[in-house]
Chains A and B, each alone.
Chain A
C-alpha cells in the first residue's frame, strides 16, 4: 500500500515536473518571430534562441517557402530541396553545401528534439540561392523581405492634443503617400510593395480608435473616433533620404479643413496626392534637441494634487516636437522619449552628439509660497571673474612636453566652458522665449534669469532652460496638466525658435 502510494506520488510529481519543464521550454523556445514580407503579404516565422543566436526551425522554413527536407540519420545530415536544387547541412558544421557551392554560416545548424534548426542568416545566405530570389534580413525590425520589394521603413507616432491628434509617419527612404478617407477610417497608402512598419500603442482618446496595418501590404489604417470630423495632411522632407507625413485629425468646425467631405459615407474619396517637396534645408536651425526635465526615478517637483513635473515636461516636449517638425521642418530629438532616468550630463552630451543648433530644457517650477506663479526662462551664469582668475592661474592651459625638449602650453576646451562660448546667443534665445511666452501664458515677475544650471553647462550650442509654470500654485497645477496650456507653451516655444532662426540667419 505504502509502496503503491509512493509510486503514485512519484508518477504525479514526475508529470508535474514534466509539465513545468515543457512549459519552461515553450516560453524559452518562443522569444519572438520573424515577419516574412512578400507580395502575398506578411506571415510570421517563429524564432528560437539557441546559444543567444536567433534560429529558425527547418520545418517552419519548409511550410513558409514550400521547400522539403529529408534527414539522413546515418550521415547526421539534412537535405533541403526545392525544384531540383538542394542544400546539404550537417549538424554542428558551420559550412553548408548549396547546389555544390559551400556557404558559411555564423553558427552551425542544431538538431534538437527531433527538429532541425538553422541560424536566421541561413535564410539570406543559403535559402535565397535555391529560391532564386533575394531575401533581405532586417535584424533590428525582425523582418525578412522576399524578392525585390520596395519596403520602406515606416515609423508611426501619435501626438494627442486637446483639439487634434497628429499621426506622423517617418518614411525611409522617402516614398509618396496617399491618404484616402473612407467611412469610419482613413487609409494611408504608400507607394511601395510592403512596409517595414513600426506602429505605437495608442493613448486613449476620441479622435483615433485604432492604428493598424491595412488590408494591402503597403497601407496603414487609422480608425477614426467620434470627435473626428476632418483631417489635414502635411509632408516635409525630414532628412536627406527620409520624409515625414503628418495626418492631423481635426474636430468639426476647423477653419483650414481640406476639401474632402468624409462625412458623406458614399464612396472612397482620394483627397490628396502627396509629393515630397524638394526644398533646400534651412541653414540656421537644422536640428533642435528638446530635453523633457527629470524622468524615471527623478520625479522633479510635484503639485499638491500629485501632478508630476516629469510627466508635464515630456508631454510639452512631444507637442513641441510635432509643431517644430510640421512648421519649421527641422530635425527634432528628445533626450528622453519615455519615462526614464537620465543624468544631466547625458542630456547635454545627447545634444552635443546630435550636433544640435539649439538646446531647450523644459521644466515646471516650485516655490516655498503657493502664491508664486508664472513662466520663467534661464540661461547659464558664467562667473567671469572666476573664469579669468582661473585663466590667470594657468588652469586652462596644460603644459605638454614638446619634441626637442621644453614644453608647450595647450589650451583645452573644458566641458565646463562649452556653454560659455554661446552665452550671447543663449541670452538672445532666452529673450525670444520670454517674448513669445509672455504673449501666451502668465509670466513670473522674474521672467529672464541667469543661473548655474548643470544641464546647460556642457551644451555646446545656444541653450536655455524654460520653467513653464509653478506646480506649487494650485491654479497653475490645474493648468499645467491640461493639453490646452501645454499647447500654448509649445506654440510659444515654436514662435521663439522661429524668431531665433531669424536671428541666427541675419
Chain B
C-alpha cells in the first residue's frame, strides 16, 4: 500500500501539525466553557444590569448551606402579616438569592397558628433586578385563577411577596409583580401592579403586640 504524498513529511513536521491541532482544540474548549461559566454564574453583587435567572428550581439538598431569612405569614386571625425567621438555601449572587427567598416564601408551610397568604400552587417564573434596584417578580398565571379575591386578601398576598424581598435584600427598594411575563393591572382586581411597590409596614404586626391582636392604627 503506497500512498503517494506530494512530498514526504518529516517526523518533526508531523509533530508540529499534531501540536497545532491539539492547541486549537484546547483553546476552543477553554473559550466555550469560560463563556458558559461567565453567562450562567451571576457574579456577586450583579445588581447592575438586568440579569435573568435560569429557571431551574432551587436545590433542596441538605448539604447546601442555608441562611436565615424573614418570611411573612398571616396572623392567626388573618388580619396582619407576621414576620417569621426561616432558613432558606444560600445562593450565589444577588438575583439567585432573591429567587431562593421567593421560592421559600411561595412554598413555605406556615408555622401554626399562622396561615400562608399565598394561594396553593403559586409558582415563580423568574426574577429580574433592574439597574435602579427594582426587582421584577414574574409569577405563573395560575396564581390569578387560584386567588380567592377580596381587597384584604389581595393586599396580604402582594405585600407578602414585596416585603419578603425588600426585608431580606436591603439593596432593593421596590418590587414590581408581573404575571405570565407581563405587566398586569392587578392580581385580583384591586392592588395596582402597574407600578413597583415599596415595603408595606402598616400591614405587618408590630413585634411588641401579641400575634392575633391588632396593633393600633
Contacts and interface: CB of A to CB of B under 8 A. Distances in A.
Interface in B64-79: 74, 76-79
A447 to B, nearest CB: 8
Contacts of A457: 192
Give the interface residue-count category, chain B: 20 to 34
A453 B151 contact: yes
If over half of A's interface residues share one DSSP class (helix, strand or loop), that class is named, otherwise mixed; here it is mixed
B152 A454 contact: no
Interface string A356-385: 000000011111110110001010000101
A217 to B, nearest CB: 47
A369 B191 contact: no
Interface in A303-344: 309, 343-344
Interface string B152-196: 110110000000000000000010000000000110111111110
Contacts of A309: 149-150
A271 B76 CA distance: 60
A470 interface: yes
B93 interface: no
A386 B152 contact: no
A30 interface: no
A128 interface: no
B148 interface: yes
B150 A451 contact: no
Interface residues of A, number: 44
A374 to B, nearest CB: 10
Interface string A431-461: 0000000000000111111111111010000
A385 B197 CA distance: 12
B150 A364 contact: yes
Interface string B43-61: 0000000000000000000
A445 B201 CA distance: 17
A465 interface: yes
B167 to A, nearest CB: 17
Given A369-B77, A449-B202, A300 B189 contact: yes
Contact of A365 (B74, B150, B217): B150
B115 A454 contact: no
A471 interface: yes
Contacts of A343: 185
Contact of A368 (B117, B195, B214): B117
6 contacts: A365-B150, A367-B78, A372-B79, A378-B151, A471-B150, A472-B153
Given A368-B156, A446-B80, 7 more contacts: A365-B150, A366-B148, A372-B79, A451-B151, A452-B197, A467-B150, A467-B151
Q: Which 4 A-B pairs have the closest CB atoms?
A: A366-B150, A369-B78, A301-B149, A445-B214
Interface of A: 293-294, 298-302, 309, 343-345, 363-369, 371-372, 376, 378, 383, 385-386, 416, 444-455, 457, 465, 467, 470-472
Interface of B: 74, 76-80, 115-117, 148-153, 155-156, 174, 185-186, 188-195, 197-198, 202, 214, 217
